[in-house]
Amino acid sequence: MKGFSEKIETVQEYYFSAKLREVNQMIADGKPVINLGIGSPDLAPDPKVIEALKNTAENPRAHGYQSYQGIPELRIAYAEFYAREYGVSLQPDKEILPLMGSKEGIMHVSMTFLNPGDEVLIPNPGYPTYASVTNLLGAKPVYYTIDLNRKGRPDFESLEQTDLSKVKLMWINYPHMPTGAQGSEEILKELVDFAKKHDIVLISDNPYSHILTDAPRSILSISGAEEVAMELNSLSKTFNMPGWRVGMLAGRADWLQKVLKVKSNMDSGMFLGLQKGAIAALGLGKTWFEDLDDLYKNRRKLVWKLADKLGLKYEQDSAGLFVWCQVPEGKTAEEIVDNLLYEKNIFITPGKIFGSEGNNYVRISLCMPEFKILEAINRIKP
Ligand SMILES: Cc1ncc(COP(=O)(O)O)c(C=O)c1O
C-alpha cells in the first residue's frame, strides 16, 4: 500500500463522529448521559410525511433508481415553498437541485467551483464542514469574524483591508450556527454588494430559517442576488427529518448545471419514498412552524436556566437550535464540558470546534425533551 491521500491529513474525523462514540460507550456502560450536544431534532415529522413514505414503500414499482435531479413534483414543492416562505420565485426545472441533506451540498458546491490554491471566506465561528471540505480540495480557508452585537454582521471593514483577489467562494449562514445570530435583510444586501464588488460566489447555508426566527429569510430574495448567490436549504431541522437526508440547492441555472455534473457522478438519486415524504413536509402550513417554535421556546427557557446555574452568559435574541454561551472568566470551556460530561453525565459542545472565536464558548442544544433538560438542571448544585 503506497499510503493515503495527503489531503486527509488536512482534516480530522468530524468531532461528533468521534465524541458520540465515547458518549454512546458511556451510555452502554450504564451512565445516564443527557445529550445536549448535537442538533438532531428528537421529534417525529408530521404524520402526513410518514404516511407518504409508507405508501410509497408499499408500491413495488417505487424501488428503482431515481432521477439525478429529483422527481419534478419535489422540485415544484420546493419552488412553492420558496415562493410562500421567502417570496422567491424559482424555476423548478432549472433553478432547484434536490440533495441528500445540505451537508453533501457543501462538498458538491466546493468541488464545482474550487481549484487548489483558491481561497474561501468562512465564518469563525462556523459550521466545521465549510473548512474541512475546502482543505480536502486543496483550497485555503480565510476566516472572517461576525459581530454578535450587530446580528452577526461580517466584519466587512477588515475584509476590505484584506487581499481578496484569490477568494472565489464565501460561505454565509443566517441564522448562524453556532451563535444563533439572526442576520438581517440589511446584512444580506451588504453581502450581495460585497460579492459583486469582489467577484465572489456567495453561498448561503440556510437550514435554520424557520427555527425561532423573527422572519424566514433567503439570500435569493435580495435584488441582484440571483447573479452572485446560491442557497442550500434542508428539511433536517425545519421538519424534524435529519435522518432522512433531504436538502436542496437553489440558484442560477448555469451554476446548478455544473453542480449536477459533479453530483450525478456520485449518487444515483434519492429513494422515491423520501421524495414523497419531503413533498408532504414542504406543503405543511404555518401551524407546523408555530407549534415547533412554541416547543423550542419552552425548551430554550429551561436551557437558559441551566446556563444560569452554570454561570454562563448568553443572548436571548437568537435563532436556531442552540444556545451559545460564554464561559465566565477564570474557567475554560473544556473544563466546563469535561466536568459536565464526566461528573454530571451531561454532554454539551465546546465552542472551539467551530473555530478559534469559539474558544470561550459552549453550545447547548434544544433537541431534548423538557423533562430531560429539567433533569440536567437538577444535577447541578445551586
Ligand atoms: C450550519 C449547518 N449547515 C448544514 C448542516 C447540515 O444539515 P443537513 O445535511 O442535515 O441538511 C448543519 C447540520 O447540523 C448545520 O448546522
State the 10-residue block means of pLDDT for the chain, 382 residues long. Answer: 88 82 91 94 97 97 95 98 98 97 96 98 97 96 97 97 97 98 97 98 98 95 98 98 98 98 95 98 95 98 97 96 96 93 95 96 98 97 76
| Single-letter amino acid, residue 257 | Q
Summarize pLDDT for 219-253 with one digit per residue, the tens. Answer: 999 999 999 999 999 999 999 999 999 999 999 99
The alpha carbon of residue 242 and the mean position of all alpha carbons in its chain are separated, in whole angstroms, by: 11
Residue 147: CA atoms inside 13 Å, Cβ hemisphere, count?
Answer: 10
Rounded to 5 degrees, what are φ and ψ at 59?
-85, 115
With a Cβ cut-off of 6 Å, ligand 1 is lined by 39, 101-103, 127, 173, 177, 205, 207, 234, 236, 242, 247
Which residues are 167's β-sheet partners?
119
Q: pTM value?
A: 0.96
pLDDT tens string 262-300 = 999 999 999 999 999 999 999 998 999 999 999 999 999
Pick the residue whose CA is nearest to atom 2 on ligand 1: 127
- In the reported structure, the alpha carbon of residue 263 is separated from the centroid of ligand 1 by a whole-number distance in angstroms of 18
- Give the SS3 label for residue 108: helix
Cα of 123 vs centre of ligand 1, distance in Å, is: 15
Taken in order of first residue, the domains within the chain and their CATH numbers are 6-45+286-379 (3.90.1150.10), 62-282 (3.40.640.10)
**Cβ–Cβ under 8 Å, residues 122 and 134:** yes
CA distance 206 to 349: 21
CA distances from 130 to 73, 75, 110, 314 (A): 30, 25, 9, 25
User: Hey, which of 78, 234, 246, 349 would you mutate to test ligand 1's pocket, going by the most ligand atoms within 8 Å of its Cβ?
Assistant: 234
Percent of the chain at pLDDT > 90 equals: 92
